[in-house]
Amino acid sequence: MQEDYIFRSGTVNPTVSPNYITNKWEEISNKLNSQFLDWKYSTKSKYRKIQSHCTQTGSGPPSKLTLNLLEERGLSV
65 φ/ψ angles, rounded to the nearest 5 degrees: -80, 135
The predicted structure's pLDDT at residue 71: 93
Under the banding of pLDDT at 50, 70 and 90, the label for residue 73 is: very high
The predicted structure's pLDDT at residue 1: 62
The predicted structure's pLDDT at residue 40: 93
Global confidence as pTM: 0.71
Judge whether residue 72 has pLDDT over 70. Answer: yes
Can you tell me the distance from the alpha carbon of 44 to that of 57, in angstroms, rounded to the nearest whole number? Answer: 22
Sequence-ordered list of residues with C-beta below 8 angstroms from that of 16, at least 6 positions apart, any chain: 6
Q: Could you read off the pLDDT of 5-46 as tens digits, one per residue?
A: 777 777 777 888 878 888 888 999 999 999 999 999 999 999
